[in-house]
Amino acid sequence: MRRHSHDLATIVLLEDDRGPSAAARQARPDTARASHPTGRDRYLDLLRAIALTRIVTLHTFYTASWLTVVFPSIGVMFALAGSLMARSLERPAAGVLRRRSRRLLLPLWVYSATVLTGLLLQGWRAGSDGAVEWSLKLLLWFVPIGDPPFPNTIGSDAGLLEATWGLQSADILWYIRAYFWFVLLSPLLLRAFRQMPWTTMLTPLALLVALYVTPVSLPAQLDSVAWDFCAYAPCWILGFAHHDGLLRRIPRDLVFVGGIALMSLGLLWVSTGRDGTGWDLGLMPMATALWSLGFCAMLLRISPSWSSFPRALRRLDKPVTLMNQRAITIYLWHCLVLMALVPLIDRMGQYEIVTQYVPWLYSPWMQYVLVWPFLALVVLAVGWVEDVAARRPPRLWPTRG
C-alpha cells in the first residue's frame, strides 16, 4: 500500500473556468439546478487560500501532524475542484478537458524541467533501469498519470539542498497526478452522479474498504492511483453535489449530524491505531476519507456564495486573490523553497551578530517567516506561466481577479 509522507493540497489549485453562456443554459434546462452564479465565489476562494496556507505551514512545522485534523486541506481542495469541474462541464467536455489540462500541465512542465535539470547536472542516471525505460519513465514528470522516478538521495547535505531534495521534489507530485486523473474521469463521474448520486459518492469508500481487506497487492503505479482515488473521490463528488444544489436541499442540521458522524468514525479509526501512523491523516486513507468528507460537507453546506468579501474580511481580498491566481506555483515550489532556506539559515548562523539578536534562528519559525517572501520571488519569476496556461495576459503580481 502506498502512503503519502505528507498531507499536500490542491488543491483544485486551478482557477475555475467561466460558466456556460446564457444560450447554453437555455439549451440545457437541467443546468438551472446549479446553485452558484458564473462569477467568482469569494467564500470558495477563501477556503482555497486557507488550505494552501495550511499546507505550507505543515511542511514547515512538519511534526505538527495534528494540523491535518484541524483543516484537511486536500479534501477541501478536491471538493472545491469537483464543484468547479461540474460547473465547467456544462460546456462540451472535450474543450473543458483541454483547458483544465493546459492549466495544470504548463506550470508543471516549468517545475519539472527545473528539477530534472538540477538532478541531471548532479549526475542522476538510469541506475538499474535501462536507459530507454528510464527515459520513458521521465515522461511521468510531464504527463502525470503515474508517479515519476527520482533518486532517494543525490549529492550531499553540505550542498545547496539536502541530499533528499530529489525525493521531496517528486513526492509532492502525487497530488498533481491525482488531480489529473480526477479531471480526466470527471465527465463519467458527473454522469454517474446525476443518475445515482449517493451510490456514486459512497462507492469509493466501499472500494477503499476492499483495498484494506484484500490480500492481493496491486502493481506499484496502479496501487498509488487506486488509494488516492478511493480516499478523495468522495470529496470530489461532493463538489458535484454542491454545484448541482443537491447539498443545499438537504436540511443543514442533517448535514451537520452526518458530517460529525463521519468525522467521528475517522477519529475512531485514528484512535484505534489501525494504520499505526499517529495523527497524520495524510498517512491514513480511510481516516482521511471519512474526516475530509464530513468536514467538507459542513463547509460546503454553509457556503454563503460571496460575490465580494464581507466588510470584516475585505483586507484579505488582495492576498486571497493572489494565492488563488498563483496557487499551482505556490504549491509546486514551496517545498524547494523550504529546503533552500536550510543552508541559507546555516550561513546566517555563522555571524555572531545574527545568533545574538535572533535566538530563534534555527527554529522552524525562522523558516516560516522567510518562506513567504521567497515564495513571492518565485511567484514573480515563474507565476506568470499560470496566466499563459489560462490564456490570460501575463501578470507579475495579480491581486485583482
Q: What is the pLDDT of residue 274?
A: 62
Sign of the Cα torsion 136, 142, 148, 153 reads: positive
Predicted pLDDT at 17:
47
The C-alpha atoms of residue 111 and residue 312 are separated, in whole angstroms, by: 37
- Give pLDDT, residue 18: 40
87 HSE (CA, 13 A, CB side): 24
Tens digit of each residue's pLDDT (9 = 90 or more) over 135-145: 899 999 999 99
Identify the weakest region by mean pLDDT among 32-41, 49-58, 73-82, 217-226.
32-41
**Choice among 109-123, 263-277, 355-369, 386-400 with the minimum mean pLDDT:** 263-277
Confidence category of residue 244, pLDDT binned at 50, 70, 90:
very high
Residue with cell 502512503: 3
Question: What mean pLDDT value characterizes the chain?
Answer: 88
pLDDT over 70 (residue 1): no
What pLDDT is attached to residue 277? 62
Q: What is the pLDDT of residues 51-66, one digit of tens each?
A: 999 999 999 998 898 8
Tens digits of per-residue pLDDT, 110-121? 999 999 999 999
pLDDT band per the 50, 70, 90 thresholds, residue 401: low
Q: What pLDDT shows up at residue 125?
A: 87
pLDDT (average), residues 366-395 = 97
Between 243 and 25, the more confident residue is 243
| Of 37 and 187, more confident | 187
- Comparison of pLDDT for 13 and 301, the residue scoring more: 301
Indicate if the pLDDT at residue 2 is higher than 80. Answer: no
- Grade residue 148 by pLDDT with cuts at 50, 70 and 90: very high
pLDDT, tens digit (0-9, with 9 covering 90-100), for 245-298: 999 999 999 999 999 999 999 999 888 866 656 677 888 899 999 999 999 999
